[in-house]
Amino acid sequence: MLDAPAHPGRTRTDTARPLVQVRDLKMYFPIYSGVLRRRSGDVKAVDGVSFDILSGETLGLVGESGCGKSTVGRALLRLYDPTAGSVTIDGEDIATLSPGALRRKRPTMQMVFQDPQASLNPRMPLSDLIGEPLIEHTDWNAERRLARIYELMDAVGLNRRFANRFPYEFSGGQRQRIGIARALALNPKFIVCDEPIAALDVSIQAQVVNLLEDLQDRFGLTYLFISHDLSMVRHIADRVAVMYLGRIAELSPRDALYSRPLHPYAEALLSAVPEPDPNVAATRTRIILKGDVPSPANPPKGCNFNTRCPRAFDRCRVEKPDLVEVEPGRLVACHLYSPDTRHAGSTGSPEAAIQARPEHFQQGAPK
Amino acid sequence: MTDISAQQTGGPQPTSKPEKPASARSAIWAQFRSHKGAVFGLAVLGFLVLAVLIGPWIWHPEKLSVAQAMKVRNQPPSLQFPLGTDQLGRDMLQRMMQAGKVSLAVGFVAMIIAITFGTLIGVLAGYFRRLDGPLMRMTDMFLALPLIPLLLVMVMLFRDDIARTMGPELGAFSLIVFAIGITSWMQAARIVRGEVLALKEREYVLAARSIGAAPHRIILRHILPNVVSPVMVAATLGVAEAIITESVLSFLGLGFPPDFPTWGRLLFDGLQYMQLYPERVIWPGLAISLTVLSVNYIGDGLRDALDPRIRGR
C-alpha cells in the first residue's frame, strides 16, 4: 500500500492483544406509540454484549434473523450510537469519541455490507466509488488517487478497464469486490463483514470468502464476520460467537464449538447444518426448537432462551446467566454450566448433562 | 506480509492504458442526443432564444410616425409586417421578439430561484431531522398563502423603491422574478424532502457514513444526484408556470410597465380583439406553448441522460 504503516508480524498466530474490546454493549431502539408519540418502550436489539477480537483473527458472529448480529456490527463502527457500553478499537473508545475524532478514526475500521447492490451509489462509476474514501481522508491529487484505485482493483481482482463502469453493469460478486475494495482503500486494521455473502450465489460466495481470507493474510486484517451461513463461518472464522435475542449465548473456538456445542441454543443451531455424509446424517438428531423468538421489545425474564430451551429449569426463568468461561477459551451463558448448578446436580459435569440430553429432545426429532 | 504496492511493482504494467475515468460528460451528451424529443426541444428552444436575442438586429422595421401607424392598425400578416400589426399599428414580430426576451428571462430566472430554494429547503428538511418540522411548517404556511394577493401586496409595497434604485425596467424584472420565485418553491421542496427521506435510509448513504464522509459531502455526492429526476420535472414545469404567472401579473397591471411587452402581456392585449383578429392571441400563445413544450422535452432527455442505468441501455 502506498503509505501503509507496516504491520510486521501481524499474522493470524499473533494473538497477543485484543484489537477490539466490546464491553456490555447495549443498543436499544425506542418505540413511540400513541397519539402523542410518547416513548413507550425499547426494542432491545443488543442487550449487553461483551467480547474481544484479537489482532489478526476472524471472529464469526452467527445467529438467526433478527437476533441483533448486524446491529452489533453497526454499533461497533458507531453507525448507530450505542445506548450503553464501550467499544474499544485499537486503544480508543469508539462509543464516546467526538464526531471529529471519530472521523479521523474511521480509516482504521471499515465495513463490507450485505447487499452490494444497495450499498453502492448507482450514479457513481467504479473509480469514484473506490476513490470516495481517499477523497474523504487524503489530500492526494487525482493522479495519485487513480493509481491507488487501480492498485485496489488489482488487489480484489477487478479488471482495470472497468474503472468507468457503473454498479449496474457488474455481477453480484464483482459488486461485492467493489465493496471490499472500498473498505480496503484506507488500510484499515479492522473490517466488519456484515453478511458479505448472503446476497450472492453459492458459486460466488466461495470466491468472495477466499478473497477475504487472502486479503487477511496479505494485510493482517482483523474481521468480525457476521453471517447466518454456519458452514461458511466454520470455513473462515477462528472463534465463533453465537447470538440469541441480543445476547451472546456462546463464544468458543471454532473447532470446539462445531464438534461439541455447549449452550443448548448453539447445539440446536448447529444441528441445523446439513451433513454431507449420509451415514452420519442418519445417526444425527436434529433439534427442532418449538415456538417463535420472543420479541426483543419484551424479552422473557431470566435467560433469553428459557421459553424455547429444551433443558430449561426453574433458575433459568428468574436469573439471567452471565457469559462465563466454563472451559479454557470457551465462554457460555447458561446456568447448566455455572459452578453451583454443576455441583448441585448429580451428573456433576456438563458433559454428563449433555449425554443425558436425549430424553429432553424427544419433540420434533425424527429418530 | 505483502503490500498491494509490492504486488504492483513486481509485475509489468498493463500495456494498454486503461481509459481515464472522465468520459462521463460525453456519455451524458451521447444519451441526450439519442433522445429525439430532447434534441427537438433543444432546437426549438435554441431557435426561440436566438430569435429574441439577435432577431431585433436582423428585423428592425422603420419607426412609423403616429399618423402612419394609425393607417396600418390591425393589419393581417403581410410581407411588410410578417405577423401583422396591433391595434396601435406596431409591428407584431418586433414586439414578439422584445416580449420574448423578457418572458424567457423571467421564466428561467424565476425557475432557477424556485428550484434552488426548494431543493435547499427540501434537502435540509429531509436530511436533518431537527429541521424537518420547522421547515415543513414554513412550507405549509407558504402553500396556504393566497398567491395573487401576496404578489399584489409585494409589488405594491416594493415596486417604487426598487424602481428608484435599479431603474424601472430592471427593478420590475427583479421584483417579479423574485416574487414568482419566492412563491413557487414549495412543490419542489415537498418533492425533494420526500425523496431525501427515502434516500438517506439507503445502504450506500450508510456506507458513506461508515467511511467517515461529512454530511455535506453525503448530500452533494449521494443525495443530490439521486433527486435529479423529480427536480428536473419540477423545474420544467416551473418554467411554464413562471411565464404564465408573469403574464397574470402583467394582466393585472402589476407586472412590467404597460409599454413594456411580454408574451403574457401581448396575450392579454390581444384577448379583447380575439374574435376579430385571432392571430394576435395565437402568436404569443404559440410562443409560450413552444417554450414550455421544448423545456419539458429537454428536461425529460436530461433526466434520462443523467441516469447511468438508462444511459447504459
- Give per-residue pLDDT as tens, A176-234: 889 999 988 888 999 999 888 887 888 888 888 888 999 999 988 999 999 988 888 99
Q: Are strands A38-54 and A222-226 parallel, antiparallel or unpaired?
A: unpaired
Share of chain A above pLDDT 90, in %: 13
Pairing state of beta strands A190-194 and A109-112? parallel
User: Using CB atoms and an 8 Å cut-off, which of residues 101-160 of chain A contact chain B?
Assistant: 102-104, 106-107, 110-111, 113-115, 118-128, 132-133, 136-137, 146, 150-152, 154-155, 160
Locate the chain A residue with the closest alpha carbon to B3: A1
By CA distance, what is A220's nearest residue in B?
A: B1
Q: Nearest by CB to B210, from A6, A11, A77: name it.
A: A77
Out of A6, A132, A154, closest to residue B8 by CB: A154
Closest-CA distance, B4 to chain A, in angstroms, reads: 5
Per-residue pLDDT, B20: 52
Three-state DSSP at B143 gives helix
DSSP label of B91: B
For strand A324-327 and strand A330-332, is the pairing parallel, antiparallel, or unpaired? Answer: antiparallel
The shortest C-alpha distance from B307 to chain A (Å) reads 7
Task: Please list every residue in chain B whose beta carbon sits closer than 8 Å to the beta carbon of residue A136.
Answer: 211-214, 217
Where do runs of H (alpha helix) occur along chain B? Answer: 4-10, 24-34, 36-58, 66-71, 92-127, 129-144, 147-166, 168-182, 186-199, 203-210, 215-218, 228-251, 263-271, 279-306, 308-311
Averages of pLDDT over runs of 10 residues in chain B (313 residues) are: 42 45 70 88 92 83 73 74 76 84 88 92 92 92 84 82 81 85 89 92 88 88 87 82 80 74 83 82 87 87 81 63
* Per-residue confidence (pLDDT) for residue A336, from 0 to 100: 86
Q: Please report residues of B whose CB lies closer than 8 A to that of A118.
A: 202-204
Interface of B with A in 250-309 (CB under 8 A): 306-309
Q: Which residues of A57-90 are buried (b: 16+ CB within 10 A; e: fewer)?
A: bbbbbbbbeebbbbbbbbbbbbbbebbebebbbb
Closest residue of chain B to A153, computed from CA coordinates: B4
CA distance to partner chain A, nearest, from residue B97 (Å): 41
Q: Give counts: helices (H), strands (E), chain A.
A: 12, 12
In chain A, list all ranges with CATH 3.40.50.300: 18-243
Residues A233/A62, Cβ–Cβ less than 8 Å? yes
Q: Which CATH superfamily hosts domain A18-243?
A: P-loop containing nucleotide triphosphate hydrolases (3.40.50.300)
Return the residue matching grid coordinates 422584445: B98
**Residue B1 with chain A: CB contacts under 8 Å:** 6-8, 10-11, 218-220
A85 has pLDDT over 60: yes
Quick one: average pLDDT of A67-82? 88
What is residue B41's predicted lDDT score, i.e. its pLDDT? Answer: 92
Residues of A in contact with B18 (CB under 8 A): 150, 160-161, 163
Place of cell 455535506: B216
In a mutational test of the B interface, the residue from A127, A132, A158 whose CB has the highest number of chain B CBs within 10 Å is: A132
Examine the pLDDT at A47 and tell me if it is beyond 60.
yes
pLDDT at A242: 92
Task: For A9, name the nearest residue in chain B, comparing CA atoms only.
Answer: B1
What is the spatial distance between Cα A51 and Cα B215, in angstroms, rounded to a whole number? 31
Taken in order of first residue, the domains within chain B and their CATH numbers are 36-48+92-302 (1.10.3720.10)
- List the single residue in B19, B204, B307 with the smallest CB-CB distance to A121: B204
- Give the residue from B4, B7, B229, B304 with the most A CB atoms within 10 Å of its CB, the best one to mutate: B4
Pairing of strands A18-33, A38-54: antiparallel
Per the prediction, chain A carries an average pLDDT of 82
Does the CB of B30 have a partner CB in chain A at under 8 Å?
Answer: no
User: Which A residues, 40 through 99, put their C-beta within 8 Å of a C-beta on chain B?
Assistant: 74, 77, 79
CA atoms of A321 and A299, how far apart (whole Å): 14
| A53: nearest Cα among A225, A296, A290 | A225
Q: Would you state the pLDDT for residue B313?
A: 57
Most confident of A307-311, A315-319, B19-23, B130-134: B130-134
Are B312 and A128 in contact (CB < 8 Å)? no
User: d(Cα A252, Cα A232) in Å, to the nearest integer?
Assistant: 16
Interface test with B, best of A76, A110, A112, A164 (most B CBs within 10 A): A164
pLDDT at B136: 93
Please tell me the distance in Å from A61's CA to the nearest CA on chain B.
20
Pairing of strands A239-244, A247-253: antiparallel
Which residue in the set B1, B212, B308 is minimally distant from A122, CB to CB? B308
pLDDT at position A343 over 60:
no
Q: How many CB atoms lie within 10 A of CB A148?
A: 24
Whether ipTM tops 0.95, in short, is no
pLDDT at A2 over 60: no
Amino acid A16: pLDDT = 56
Please, which contacts does A204-211 make with residues 24 or more away whose CB atoms are closer than 8 Å? A204/A171, A204/A172, A204/A173, A204/A176, A205/A229, A205/A232, A207/A173, A208/A173, A208/A176, A208/A177, A208/A180, A209/A235, A209/A236, A211/A156, A211/A157, A211/A177, A211/A180
Q: What's residue A342's pLDDT?
A: 54
- Give the chain A residue whose CA is nearest to the CA of B217: A136
Residue from the list B7, B18, B21 with its beta carbon closest to the beta carbon of A125: B21
Q: Which residue of A has its CA nearest to B213?
A: A136
Nearest CA distance, A119 vs chain B (angstrom): 4
pLDDT of residue A345: 44
Of the pLDDT bands very low, low, confident and very high (cuts 50, 70, 90), residue A350 is very low
Stretch A86-90: mean pLDDT, rounded? 89
**Strand order, beta sheet including A324-327:** A109-112, A190-194, A222-226, A58-62, A239-244, A247-253, A330-332, A324-327
Residue A334 in contact with residue A348, Cβ under 8 Å? no
